[in-house]
Amino acid sequence: MTRALLALLAVVFLVGTSAASAAVLVDGVVASVGNEPILQSDLVQDAGPVIQNLRSSATSQQQFEIEVDKALRAALDQAIEYQILYQEAEKAGMKVPDDDVEKRMGMIKKQYESSEAFQKALEESGRTMSDFRERIRRQIMAMSFSMGKHREFEKQAVVSESDMAQYYQDHPADFVHPPRVQVRRIFIAAEKDAAARREAKAKLEAVRDELALGSDFAELAKARSQGPEAAEGGLVGWVKKGDLVPELEAALEGLKDGELSAVVETEYGFTMMKVEAREAEGATPYEKASQEIEPILRKKLGDEHYQKWMGGLRKRGNVRVFM
C-alpha cells in the first residue's frame, strides 16, 4: 500500500474527513480483473467498519497505518475474488431474484440509524441507489457461485479410512468432551414488533401441535424451519454449556432423549428443540468420532481444491494490481 494512501486514510479516519471528501481524495484504480476496475473508494467503503474500529484501538499512528494497510489489502483480495466469481457466475447464466437483492439491501440499511442516515451515506459515497443495487446484486452472485463451488469440491473429495484414523490419532484433545446434548431445532424468525412476534409464535405452536399428532421432527424442520440447519432436518449437533443463549440452555434442562422443549422466545425469534441424545463427560470412541472427522476432512480437501481453482482463475483472468 502506498504511503500517500495510508497517510490520507489517517486523515480521513482519525481527523474525521467526510466520506464525500474521502471519495474525491482517494478514488483511483488500484486493480483490475480483465476490463473491470477496482477503485480505492471501493476498498475504503468495504474496509470502513474495520478501519473505524482501528481508529479507537490503535495505540500510535504507525500501528494505525500498519493495520489499515492489512485491512485494505484484505479488502482488495476479496474485491478481486468477488469480481472473478461474478464473471464466472455471469458466464454460467446465474440470475439473482430481485427479492434477494432487496432483502440484502434492507439488511444493510438497518445498520444505519435511519433511512435518512443511509441516504446521506450513499450520497457521500458518490454512488446512486442504482449503483448500490447493482453492486449488491454482483456480490450475491459471487457469493452464491462461491458456495456452489465449495459444495461441489467437498462432494468430490475422497476421504479414506486411514485419513480419518490418522486425524483421530493426531487430535486426541478434540474428542474429549464435557457433558453435552445432541439437539435438533425448528426456528421461526421474528421482527421485534408485537404483531410479528405473535405471528411467529403462533406458527411454531402450530408445528408443535403437528408433532403431538405424530409428525416427524426432522421432516417438519426441513419444511418449516428458517434456521441455517433446516436442510439437515434441523440438526444443530452436539452442544455443551455456553454454546447456546441462556434462554435455550434453560429450556433444555431436564429434557430426556426424544423430548421436546417448550416454544422459546429469543432476540431473533422463536425456537423449539428436540433432544436427540445426551452424553456424560468423556472421550468419543473412534467409531463415533469418525462421523465428525469425515466432514472436517471433506471440507479441508474441498477448501484446498477451491483455492487451486481460484488460483487458476486468477492466472487466466488477467488480474493486475497497481498498488
pLDDT 10s digits, 234-259: 999 999 999 999 999 999 999 999 99
Residue 317 has a pLDDT of: 82
% the chain with pLDDT above 70? 89
Amino acid occupying residue 205 = E
Q: Is residue 174 part of a domain?
A: no
Q: Answer yes or no: do 30 and 126 share one domain.
A: yes
Q: Answer yes or no: do 223 and 97 share one domain.
A: no
Q: Answer yes or no: do 123 and 197 share one domain.
A: no
Q: State which residues form the domain around 125.
A: 3-153
Q: Is residue 305 part of a domain?
A: no
Least confident segment among 41-55, 162-176, 212-226? 41-55
Q: Answer yes or no: do 15 and 106 share one domain.
A: yes
239: helix, strand or coil: strand
The rounded Cα 60 to chain-centroid distance in angstroms is 32
Q: Answer yes or no: do 126 and 13 share one domain.
A: yes
Least confident segment among 39-48, 134-143, 184-193, 241-250? 39-48
244, 264, 280 - which closes a domain: 280
pTM of the predicted structure, to 2 decimals: 0.62
Q: What is the CATH number of the domain that holds 81?
A: 1.10.4030.10
Residue 70 has a pLDDT of: 86
Q: Answer yes or no: do 119 and 205 share one domain.
A: no
Residue 230 has a pLDDT of: 94
Q: What is the pLDDT of residues 189-213, one digit of tens each?
A: 999 899 999 999 999 999 999 999 9
- Banded model confidence at residue 47, pLDDT cuts 50, 70, 90: confident
Amino acid occupying residue 157 = A
98, 118, 153 - which closes a domain: 153
Contacts of 64 (CB under 8 A, 6+ apart): 10, 14, 54, 55, 58
Q: Answer yes or no: do 115 and 186 share one domain.
A: no
CA dihedral 10, 44, 40, 114 (to 10 degrees): -130
Q: What is the pLDDT of residues 267-286, one digit of tens each?
A: 999 999 999 999 999 999 99
Q: Answer yes or no: do 48 and 127 share one domain.
A: yes
CA distance 50 to 220: 40
Q: Answer yes or no: do 184 and 148 share one domain.
A: no
Q: What is the count of structural domains for the chain?
A: 2
Q: Is residue 256 part of a domain?
A: yes
Q: Is residue 9 part of a domain?
A: yes
CA distance 131 to 137: 10
- Does residue 105 have a pLDDT over 50? yes
Question: Max Cα separation, the chain?
Answer: 69
Q: Answer yes or no: do 13 and 112 share one domain.
A: yes
Q: Answer yes or no: do 149 and 52 share one domain.
A: yes
The label of the residue with cell 481527523 reads 15
The label of the residue with cell 456480490 reads 139
Q: What is the CATH number of the domain that holds 217?
A: 3.10.50.40
- Does residue 26 have a pLDDT over 50? no
List beta partners, residue 299.
none
